[in-house]
Amino acid sequence: MTDIAPALELRGITKRFGDLVANDGVDFDVRRGEVHALLGENGAGKTTVMRIAYGLTQASAGEILVDGQPRAIRSPRDAIDAGIGMVTQHFALVRPMTVAENLALGRSRGMGLDLAEARRRAADASDRFGIRVDPAARVEDLSVGQQQRVEILKALSRDCRILILDEPTAVLVPDEVDALFATLRSLVADGLSVVFISHKLAEVRAISDRVSVLRRGKLVGTVPGTTDDRELASMMVGRPTFGVQRPTDAPAPSAAPTLRIRELHATGANDLPALSDVSLTVGAGEILGVAGVSGNGQTELVEVLSGMRRPTRGSVTVDDVELAGADPARMMRARVGRIPEDRHASLIGDLSVAYNLVLERLDDFRRGGRIDEGSVRRHAEELIQRFDIRAGPDDPVATLSGGNIQKVLLARVLSRDPRVVIVSQPTRGLDVGATEYVRSQLLERRADGAAILLVSEDLEELLALSDRLVVVYEGRIVGETATAAADVGELGMLMAGRGKAA
Ligand SMILES: Nc1ncnc2c1ncn2[C@@H]1O[C@H](COP(=O)(O)OP(=O)(O)OP(=O)(O)O)[C@@H](O)[C@H]1O
Ligand SMILES: [Mg+2]
């Protein structure tokens, strides 16, 4: 009977963190020679359930079977002994060491390391599994894609038969994704079982035999890998997705634009020119999309508009008030809200959700020189409700999933009713549900009359949300069009610096 038992089976796995149920009776199995994807929104519980399988944390209830036999997995050591390997999102390699040394680490168990032997073993493993690595290279000199190969090889050379990959493509460029998939296909053909965690539908469909979908900690279902994107997306978010889209009504023409930038110049890192002669306007109730390959002045533009970089020349006005060179506090008082590209940099991970929500306006919560904890908390409870943040006021922000972290930022900025919203890459790394949510929030602000400057590398996103688009290339605006009249091919040419104006 054991030959038909799944390689790995999780039965009724439940995991609680305080009141939060991260996994709720999850059943999941992966067969021999199969890629089984685990799909779900940010915070659905994907990482948690697989950390349990790998012994990084223990379930509150449930059992784990390997080849049909119940196994107690209390540590990664137990998991490795049971043939389970996991490549987490943050690699666990020793950076100053070579590839061969890293591969030998788990095996030597305190005994001296025979370098020649370690190199030979690494080269053998590389051949055997068809995964190209240079045994003599130092890990710190490798690209992220190469480091990932070392991690996979490390797991395989410990005789892992069940390989768990937590969002392995998030850190890879498209060519590396293709290479990873080719490697996985050949390993699976040799009998390896793979758990592939992701929230990218196209990838899940490209690589998986079966797909299991988690939603809010519960298993929604397990379906064949051929299931179409619409159905997978609707399982994931609990309703069919229509794709949040800007209404086609034109914004009400206002007498004067809310945000006006005239002949702006700024330097970037190393004092090199980053913005040259940029002029643009954003009206009330309008979303202006800034398209371009990153590194063409977008970062500096956002920094000038949030008061973090002084322009060398030019004017920035909000409702005709001159703000060029203003500091961040003054920008905030002028009701310019900023949702930055780097979410983590503008939040303090160890601090609670409640405090992160008031960080920029602590003075509003002081009573007689002290912070009024009660009102900080009530404020947080209201925003958690309003912005659907799936966390409690006291949870450290670092424990939230990516989508919920973005909601904390949105709540902090949008709850202050900004006149102007400067937003960068708002949905990068977010799943379908969180993406829709973020987009619909921006559209709500648009409907309320805010002027929104949206910087994104995602053309599809810009086309879905913007009323007008400008294209930046090497610090200049090289094109402008109403979205309705936009020609995607032409936008691509402009972004690549091949437009007439460039
Ligand atoms: N150590 C922890 N303490 C408290 N809560 C936690 C902890 N780890 C995870 N959680 C919570 O459990 C839930 C599930 O998180 P998990 O990381 O498993 O989600 P995920 O599906 O992997 O999401 P993502 O796509 O963002 O990686 C989230 O609400 C998260 O905040
Ligand atoms: Mg995760």
Q: Enumerate domains of the chain plus CATH numbers.
A: 2-237 (3.40.50.300), 259-345+413-495 (3.40.50.300)
Q: Is 236 in the pocket of ligand 1 (CB under 6 A)?
A: no
Q: Is 400 in the pocket of ligand 1 (CB under 6 A)?
A: yes
pLDDT at site 129: 87
Q: Is 56 in the pocket of ligand 1 (CB under 6 A)?
A: no
- Flag whether pLDDT at 93 surpasses 80: yes
Distance 400 CA to ligand 1 centre (A): 6
- Flag whether pLDDT at 304 surpasses 60: yes
Q: Under DSSP, is residue 416 helix (H, G, I), strand (E, B) or coil?
A: coil
Residue 442 pLDDT level (bands cut at 50, 70, 90): very high
Distance 50 CA to ligand 2 centre (A): 9
- Flag whether pLDDT at 241 surpasses 50: no
Nearest CA to ligand 1 atom 12: 22
pLDDT tens, position by position, 41-78: 777 899 999 999 999 999 999 999 999 999 999 999 99
Rounded CA gap, 487 and 380, in Å? 43
Rounded CA gap, 37 and 214, in Å? 11
pLDDT at site 393: 96
Q: Report the mean per-residue pLDDT for the chain.
A: 89
Could you tell me which of 42, 55, 49, 38 has the C-alpha nearest to residue 13? 49
pLDDT at site 108: 55
pLDDT at site 400: 92
pLDDT at site 240: 47
pLDDT at site 169: 85
Contact 370, 432 (CB under 8 A): no
Nearest CA to ligand 1 atom 2: 399
pLDDT tens, position by position, 182-217: 999 999 999 999 999 987 777 888 999 999 999 889
pLDDT > 70 in the chain, percent: 94
Q: Long-range contacts of range 268-271, CB-CB < 8 Å, 24 or more positions apart?
A: 268/297, 268/299, 268/300
**What is the distance, to the nearest Å, from the Cα of residue 110 to the centroid of all Cα atoms in its chain?**
38
Rounded CA gap, 28 and 30, in Å? 7
What are the tokens at 249? 């009504």
Over 59-102, what HEC string results?
CCEEEEEECCEECCCCCHHHHHHCCEEEECCCCCCCCCCEHHHH
Nearest CA to ligand 1 atom 28: 43
Burial of 302-334, coded b for 16+ CB within 10 Å and e otherwise, reads: bbbbbbebebeebebbbbeeebbebeeeebbeb
Ligand 1 atom nearest 390 alpha carbon: 29
Q: Is 47 in the pocket of ligand 1 (CB under 6 A)?
A: yes
**Residue 489 CB partners (closer than 8 Å, separation 6+):** none
pLDDT at site 313: 97
Distance 64 CA to ligand 2 centre (A): 20
Nearest CA to ligand 1 atom 14: 45
Distance 198 CA to ligand 2 centre (A): 8
Ligand 1: residue of 401, 408, 435, 438 to mutate (most ligand atoms within 8 A of CB) is 401
Ligand 1: residue of 15, 48, 49, 438 to mutate (most ligand atoms within 8 A of CB) is 48
pTM as predicted: 0.63
Q: Which ligand is nearest to the CA of 39?
A: 1
- Flag whether pLDDT at 110 surpasses 60: no
**What is the distance, to the nearest Å, from the Cα of residue 14 to the centroid of all Cα atoms in its chain?**
25
